[in-house]
Structure 1
Amino acid sequence: MKFTDGYWQLRPGVSVLRPGTVESVEPDERGFTVFAPTGRITGRGDTLNRPVVTVRFFSPAPGVVGVTIGHHCGGLPREPRFALAESTDHPVHVEVTGLTATLTTGELSARVALVGPWRVDFLRGDRPVTSSTERSVGIVTDAEGHKYVHERLALGVGETIHGLGERFGPYVKNGQTVDIWNADGGTASEQAYKNVPFYLSSAGYGVFVDHPELVSFEVGSEVVSQTQFSVAGQSLTYHVIDGPTPKDVLRRYTALTGRPARVPAWSYGLWLSTSFTTSYDEKTVTEFIDGMAERNLPLSVFHFDCFWMRQFHWVDFVWDPETFPDPEGMLRRLHERGLKVCVWINPYIAQRSYLFEEGRRAGYLVRNPDGSVWQWDKWQAGMALVDFTNPDAARWYAGKLKVLLDMGVDCFKTDFGERIPTDVVWHDSADPQRMHNYYAYLYNRTVFELLEAERGAGEAVVFARSATAGGQQFPVHWGGDCESTFVAMAESLRGGLSLAASGFGYWSHDIGGFEGTPDPAVFKRWIAFGLLSSHSRLHGSGSYRVPWAYDEEAVTVLRHFTRLKLRLMPYLAAAAEEAHSDGVPVLRPMILEFPDDPTAAYLDRQYMLGPDVLVAPVLSADGQVTYYVPAGTWTHLVSGARVTGPGWVTEKHDFDSVPVLARPGAVVPFGAVEDRPDYAWADDVRLRLYAPVEGQRTRVRVPAPAGGVGAEFEVRYDNGSATVDLVAGASSGYLVEVAE
């Protein structure tokens, strides 16, 4: 939100209070509070009718400095709040001198000037990170009397900003206005399904604004040398998160807001969907599955989209008896074929659903201020909304899903969760503005925790569309409703990169696009992109996504990339374990692995899949692709061709090929199985060494599926040859080779 008219003037009707020189500081063991009047104090008379800005500095976690800016501090607490893993036992050093007040946690300090104009410097050791200066803090009143608080943190020369949730526009956010407000807007606008009030800086720090409601960011836009963020009300809390590397920032941020859970091994395989508005029944489903088997296309999960339920009844969790007269038998038959089953759900209750009256009577549906049930006709006729702030309502909803789990369903696509009204009353009296984004967190948590309770930790997985900060704990998330074009393919990738820079460990997208029917070229190019993502799903809107519906070459392309992904499971599983343990995502923006390469910050048509594999999706029908390789000798994973960086490369690829390159010196483990993802990854593993250097020593960890035993290997390269030892765990066989 912009408050100024240019740099010097305010917009009509806007007034701003700003802190001046600090009048006093009150330290304590864990922080300090400064009091800054909004004008000079030269005598006692100047303290009358003089507003004071109160700013509290504290540390909620190691390497994190929290700041709360307040004007009138007597307001009632506003809920909900983000669930943060705050600590009170890590070292915090507070020092107050005649000139400065400083709080230090780890290598990060906040130093407040006690004389002269308002200034706060955030430092890593003695090195500046960012700062809040004389015109940075504002207590704003607009022409209608609405109150806001803003902060502006300095941007350095060449500094780039990333993240802020899933955003489909330019990956670098400098020059943009970004409103953190979940919306069902597709992938071709400034709206987003997953909004996260956190940004990651190329300078090696992050900023998390601790507000679930609308947060408006002006990233080098209102003031081009600063990032501004503002919220409505009388106070603003934010956290500056130390690095020094971007990956270190994500480690600290996800330690505070939550790390992604482990997901089951079978979920990494190929998912096939009925699609949305297509006509299907068990016969159709069986034909699809038979077709995949006949063509030797490995399949792990079958997904039933919305119309597994009766029209106008969404959601009642009742199989359409005309289309699926024997759901238990059908699910049993699918399991006998080695498949897992996913079904579509959302948190909305149509008026025609039997759950509507049940929920209304019990008080489980969100209400209007007059006590009536909130309803509208968008999406479903007479649609109501489950009130997840009511623990009984959450248990009621989960109980309905448990019936499906007992029937044989394995997981859920948790669709929607963005169309949340703000003129309603919640069971726990939550602030409707704060609930709009936070609803997605409660919704997905309810479903994910049910799956963990019923299936066990590490066996829960959802396919979620909406999210906010903390939602990364409940994977997997997919990129929403994109068009079936190369342009939309690029949009989706930008959304995934931004989401990864916001702490989300796993990500997927609809292979071929959702809206419309892709032409064969788009479909085949998207296959490679989809299978070189953490999770891979064939799904569309009004047309099927089985490959033979496009051409026979699509079958060959799907077989090739599915088998490649399944052989890469030892490598992908290790990357996923890092996402779970450290918060570093599987799909990584290039800046995470190459923070010192200034080109890496701007690369939004390629990514790192885990730490050692570069992927550049082909975004053209003719197969021409241009991508960037950082320094060193990179090796095409499949062909063995080598490319030397740093520099740009232009190549032409057939449909069964894509730039997928191993990092210089990388050891990439390949599994022995290519027809399913859930196998003993360490058994008969092939450790492939790419462009090694003499004397290289590399530890390679291969996890195990749930309940199994993993392994750790040491690979050595001496005198032009490679050797390997098993140093921990178990493996029935292993081999090292140097890629030629």
Structure 2
Amino acid sequence: MTEILRRVRAVRREGASVLLEVDAHPAVRLPGTPGWLTGEPVTDQGVETTMPNLPELRLPPLSSRPWRVRVSVAGPRTVRITAAPDGARVWDEEATWLGIVTDACPEPVEPDITEDDGHVNVHTGSVRVRLTRFPFAIEVLGADGRTVLRTAERLRQVAGFPMAPPVLADGDGGTTLHCELGPEEEITGFGEQFGRLVKNGQHLRLRVEDALGTGTGRAYKPVPVWHSTAGYTGFLNTGATVTADVGHTRPSVLALTADDEALDLYVCADPDPGVRLGDYTALTGRPPRPPLWAFGYWMGRCRYHSRAEMEQVARGMAEHDVPCDVLHLDPDWLVVDRLNTDFIWNTDRFGDRAEFVAALDRLGCRLSVWELPYLDPASPRYVEAQDRGYLVRDTAGDIARLRGTPTPDGRPRALIDFTNPEARRWWQNLHTDFLADGVAVFKTDFGEGLPDDVALADGTPPQHAHNLYPLRYNGAVSAVIAERTGRAPLVWGRSGWAGSQRYPGQWGGDAESTVAGMRATVRGGLSYALSAPGFWSHDIGGFFGPELTPALYVRWTQLGAFSPLMRAHGLRPREPWQFGERALAISRDWIRLRYSLLPYLWQVATESAAQGWPMLRPYALHHPHDPVAAGLDGQFLLGADLLVAPIFDDGEAAVPRRFHVPGGDWFDLLTGERYPGPGWHTTVVPLERMPVLVRGGAVLPRIELPDRFRRTDDLVGLPWTLHVYGTGDREARLTGFDGTDTTVSIRETRVTATGGQPIRTEIVRHD
């Protein structure tokens, strides 16, 4: 039976929270017409009884089920609103119980709680929640008193039937929150979605899937976090599948349905989305800054089949003067390598692992190794894991079977139960010898295949288990890397959920090698940046599909050079010399340009880790009041000072590129041409160019690259040159590669620096 929350019956304060007892009444939807009705008097429900063609109303019995709604404060700008029936598990658990929230209240605030005959108010000074007693409703107001979020009880059809009750339980285990969408309100976020950045008009199912590409409508990394231009960020603290209907069914309604008995909603109210992201990541965790080498160029292929083949690629990088920090090895390192990882090294193909890692290091490259959290029954380790109780079981007690990803031979694959501490430790220990031998990073692939009917060791309810699985998987691998190496950990993960930003990095999955695939990739990265901010990247050239044109390879390499992390990878060769002399020359220039900008990338990475911001940033993150900002999903900011406009084209000819710049002056990084803002500009760009603009007023630290250097290690200790854009004196604080800070005072005639990082005494001005 569907139920609607209708009347607050009692209110009591519980410490810094307020708990409301609310009556939920059974409700029916009338056949052939939108809207819901309970058994209450129709006048209490707002029905237009004077309508001449009002149908006969058959109301359900008027009964009540007790629900609770609790409002608590999670920070000066953040409130938590929990709604569930009496007896729901959420009432017995802390906010951190699912492992998504890591700090329930990062900045404690004592709220002011008041009530009168009509309302209950919870006020922190920066945000206020107003709850209406009857009919039950929720409203959230910002510091300036303006409403940023309100439930949609006011929205009705012509006969007055309410179309979007504030909280509705559907009787099948789902709970829906209906919010009004304002006339100009735009919604962004919901994780790595490959469609338009503004989600208005879209219907999204937030469930971790092997998306099988970027054009299927599925998502590897959906996240129940969204931003509204009204001035708030919302977050559902759940592992359950969430459906987000963003004005799709009803144009003025944002409907959020969790496949669970409870709604656990966090709302952060502030006009600045950067502030809101900082508050969200304070709740759910911020990523560590990856090591410097992670920001170099990575090369991979599915697959390299032998040690000799990979060493030849490493030598090819040197011969073609292409710097490279990491070579990636996909599943051929395994003996049983089809959707299986048992950490049994294939010595026939790659010889002794430590010797192989050392050989690559002498050639200038670190080693990245592929894994997934599944075991094939053909593996010798399967029986060990089964006998020790390390494999996920279903609710019938049998070994759970991988779902959602086609298997090459029909054999069922099992999954590691990361909620079992012994299983987690066993899996982590399988990495130990690899790390001891010098493996630098693990590509934590897959993780989307947990079935729904599982009984995990820690008792996680089945409806939460599937989406939480990649969070726990990546967390286990990240933790053992940190433990065994003593440095900031780094994985290269495909699947994710809320909180996954804690475990950098992630990449955009298996994009098609087409212009459409490249376009979807940028949209996915921008959308993910608003929900799991940190260190995200993509496969340069796309993973599969039609053979890459040399021009598209170049355009994708240009995009990669200004992405947080830079990796070329695909089913077919991705080495730059595979695409002809012109493509090689242009790609090499852009790869080297990235290395020259490592000091700037390091500043952005430092800021992102500290503030809880993404490196790759939607335009609106820094310019939320620009009326076109929210919808700009074909360009992005890398940090606050670089604006990048990728070229979505696969031809050799020069093409026009239209882009929007914020207020102030912006300068082309390569040509110095000035672009005043705010406004639109169009420029014609040959294959050798992509618009990369520097903000007027920026101080851009760079390195003058030596000849024939191999990787980031060769640049440590070299002095930085400061490129100053625009006139005037200024101060800058820079973090060196060794983590020490340097304060720089820039005057028209000189530069002075105090701190650890060597800075050249001259500066380069761009006016």
CA shift for structure 1 position 597: 0.5
Does 1:382 pair with 2:412? Answer: yes
| Residue matched to 2:75 | 61
Cα distance, 1:552 vs structure 2: 1.0
Q: Secondary structure at the match of 1:462?
A: coil
Q: Distance in 2 between matches of 1:481 and 1:165?
A: 16
Tell me the residue number matched to 2:50: none
Contact 2:297/2:324, CA 8 A, preserved across alignment: yes
Aligned to 1:483: 512
The change in CA–CA distance for 1:544 and 1:638 in structure 2 (over 3 A counts) is: same
Is 1:332 aligned to 2:358, yes or no? Answer: yes
Q: Matched residue pairs, number?
A: 709
Partner of 1:677: 712
> 1:712 is matched by which residue type in structure 2?
T
- Asked if residue 283 in structure 1 is aligned to residue 292 in structure 2, the reply is no
Work out the CA distance in 2 between the residues paired with 1:660 and 1:149. Answer: 45
Q: Does 1:86 align with 2:100?
A: no
Selected match of 1:640 from 667, 672, 688? 672
TM-superposed CA distance for 1:733, in Å, is: 3.0
Asked if 2 retains the 8 angstrom alpha-carbon contact of 1:81 and 1:212, the reply is no
Alpha-carbon separation, structure 2, partners of 1:155 and 1:146: 26
User: Superposed, which structure 2 residues align to 1:212-361 within 5 Å?
Assistant: 212-273=239-300, 275-276=301-302, 278=303, 280-312=305-337, 314-361=340-387
The aligned residue for residue 6 of structure 1 is none
> Does residue 524 of the first structure (1) align with residue 550 of the second (2)?
no
Percent identity, aligned pairs only, is 33
TM-superposition CA deviations, 1:128-175 (whole Å, max 9, x none): 212124255455465xx5132211222223221111110001111111
Letter of the 1:302 counterpart: L
Bigger mean CA deviation after superposition, 251-260 or 146-155: 146-155
Match of 1:9 in 2: none
Among 716, 722, 725, the alignment partner of 1:690 is 725
Q: 1:372 to 1:118 in 2, by over 3 A?
A: closer
2:594 is matched with which residue: 535, 554, 565? 565
Residue from 490, 504, 522 that aligns with 1:461: 490
CA RMSD of aligned residues (A): 2.5
- How far apart are 1:397 and its partner, in Å? 0.7
8 Å CA contact 2:336–2:379 kept in 1: the answer is: no
**Structure 1 equivalent of residue 625 of structure 2:** 596
Determine the structure 2 residue equivalent to 1:613. Answer: 642
Structure 1 residue 53, shift from structure 2 partner: 4.2
Which of 551, 567, 573 aligns to 2:580? It is 551
SS in 2 for 1:556: helix
TM-fit CA distance, 1:489: 0.2
Once residues 710 and 122 of structure 1 are traced to their aligned partners in structure 2, the CA distance between those partners, rounded to angstroms, is 40
The worse-fitting range, judged by mean Cα deviation, of 27-36 and 562-571 is: 27-36
Deviation at 1:116, TM superposition (A): 6.2
Q: Is residue 151–residue 177 contact of structure 2 (8 Å, CA) maintained in 1?
A: yes
- The SS at the match of 1:18 is strand
Structure 2: distance between partners of 1:140 and 1:103:
23
Query: How far apart are the structure 2 equivalents of 1:330 and 1:438?
Result: 35
Gaps of 5+ in 2: 26-39, 45-60, 154-161
Q: Which amino acid aligns with 1:656?
A: E
| Structure 2 counterparts to residues 623-638 of structure 1, below 5 A | 623-624=654-655, 625-638=657-670
Pair 1:662-2:690 in alignment? no
Contact 2:148–2:232 (CA<8 Å) still a contact in 1?
yes
SS at match of 1:611: coil
1: distance between equivalents of 2:166 and 2:413?
41
Amino acid at match of 1:649: H
Q: Give distance in 1, aligned partners of 2:536 and 2:449.
A: 22
1:179/1:213 Cα in 2 relative to 1: closer, same or farther (>3 Å)?
A: same
User: 2:471 matched to which residue of 1?
Assistant: 441
* Cα drift, residue 291 of structure 1: 1.1
In structure 2, the CA distance between the partners of 1:306 and 1:338, relative to structure 1 (3 Å rule), is same
2:127 and 2:717 map into 1 onto residues whose CA distance is 41
Change (3 A) 1:682 1:586: farther
**Residue in 2 aligned with 1:5?**
none
- The letter of the residue matching 1:31 is S
Deviates more, 1:74-83 or 1:302-311: 74-83
SS at match of 1:302: strand
1:218 Cα deviation from its structure 2 partner: 1.1
Separation (CA, whole Å) in 2 of partners of 1:522 and 1:311: 35
Secondary structure, in 3 states, of the residue corresponding to 2:492?
strand
Give me the whole-angstrom Cα distance separating, in 2, the residues matched to 1:435 and 1:160: 31
Structure 1 CA distance, aligned partners of 2:202 and 2:666? 34
Report the CA distance shift for 1:204/1:679 in structure 2 as closer, same or farther (over 3 A). farther
Deviation at 1:54, TM superposition (A): 2.6
- Tell me which residue corresponds to 1:118: 137
Deviation for aligned residue 1:99: 4.2
Amino acid at match of 1:691: G
> What are structure 1's unaligned runs of at least 5 residues?
1-13
Aligned counterpart, 1:132: 151
CA distance in 1, matches of 2:146, 2:177: 21
Q: How does 1:92-107 map to 2 (within 5 A)?
A: 92-107=111-126
- 3-state secondary structure, aligned to 1:322: helix
Residues 389-447 of structure 1, C-alpha deviations (whole Å, 9 max, x = no match): 11111111111111211222111000000111112222222222211010001100110
* Alpha-carbon distance change, 680 to 294 in structure 1, aligned in 2, over 3 angstroms: closer
3-state SS of paired residue (1:241): strand
Which AA in structure 2 matches 1:91? E
Give the distance between the partners of 1:735 and 1:406, measured in 2 at CA.
43
In structure 2, the CA distance between the partners of 1:219 and 1:688, relative to structure 1 (3 Å rule), is same
Question: CA deviation digits over 1:534-564, x for unaligned, max 9?
Answer: 11111101x1111111111122122111111
User: Which residue of 1 is the match for residue 10 of structure 2?
Assistant: 24
Cα 1:683–1:127 shift into 2, 3 Å: farther
The 3 A distance-change label for structure 1 pair 119 and 547 is: closer
8 Å CA contact 2:6–2:23 kept in 1: the answer is yes
Deviation at 1:495, TM superposition (A): 0.3
